[in-house]
Amino acid sequence: MSMTTSSTFRSGARTAVRLVRGAALAAVLAGALSACGFHLRGEGGNYTLPFASLYVGLPDGSPLAIDLKRNIRANGHTTVARAAKDADASIEVLTDPEKTRTKTILSLNSNGRVRQYLLSYNIVFRVVDKAGTELLPATPINLSRPIDFNETQLLAKEQEEALLYKDMQTDLVQQMMRRMAAIKPAAAAPAAPEAAPANPAAPAVPITQ
């Protein structure tokens, strides 16, 4: 075996080992998140919403919309309306976390290279009824997760980042459901009691001699 062939073989072997380690790390991470409640958090909380129907003001293909609609249907008391005009209440998303999520540097190592990033996932939403009356004022929910960075494990770190964003989305939906379940729509004003009819004049009693 020539030196070139041997060097190529060793390089390929090292690459294969790194890929296997990256895949193993991703599997361990997924298992750890699952054990911590990653899969359960989206399914474990059942909240009774005070609406017969609810409209979600997000694009149908939005991952957040899909997760939110699934949770709304799971409570068994509320249907998801296809249009705001057909719903008892509407969720208006003022800040879409799919468009505003961020990844910022959290810390550097001694060589000035990134050691940790901070992932952020935020939403501002409100709930209104058919008449546009605000049932839940503009409500912010801000979530963040730190993630260690290692440039030798880029694939594994990308997978870990995706899992953490999914974890935050699941957490976000549960917090939205909890806030909506606490809404107390104004009850219809009770009807005024009918006035009692006036007593008719007492009939004259004949006087007998």
Counting Cα atoms < 13 Å in the Cβ hemisphere of 11 gives 6
- Listed in order, strand segments (DSSP E) in 102-163 are 102-108, 114-129, 134-148
Number of structural domains in the chain: 1
Q: Which residues are CB-neighbours of 91 under 8 A, at least 6 positions away?
A: 54, 55, 56, 57, 58, 68, 125, 126, 127, 176, 180
Judged by DSSP in three states, 195 sits in coil
- Number of CB atoms found within 10 A of residue 172's CB: 21
CATH number, domain containing residue 160: 3.30.160.150
How far is residue 134 from each of residues 8, 55, 89, 100, 138, measured CA to CA in Å?
Answer: 67, 14, 9, 24, 9
**189 domain residue, yes or no:** no
The reported pLDDT for the residue numbered 9 is 45
pTM, entire model: 0.67
**199 domain residue, yes or no:** no
Strand partners, 175: none
The reported pLDDT for the residue numbered 39 is 37
Tokens, residue 61: 């293909």
**48 domain residue, yes or no:** yes
**126 domain residue, yes or no:** yes
**9 domain residue, yes or no:** no
Strand partners, 119: 103, 145
**191 domain residue, yes or no:** no
Range of the domain at 41: 14-181
The reported pLDDT for the residue numbered 191 is 44
Angle ∠(101,103,105) on CA atoms, nearest 5: 155
| pLDDT tens over the chain, length 209 residues | 444 444 444 544 454 445 445 444 444 444 444 444 433 333 446 788 999 999 999 999 999 999 999 999 998 889 999 999 999 999 999 999 999 999 999 999 988 999 999 999 999 999 999 999 999 999 999 999 999 999 889 999 999 999 999 999 999 999 999 999 999 876 433 444 555 555 555 555 554 54
**70 domain residue, yes or no:** yes
Angle ∠(81,82,83) on CA atoms, nearest 5: 95
**127 domain residue, yes or no:** yes
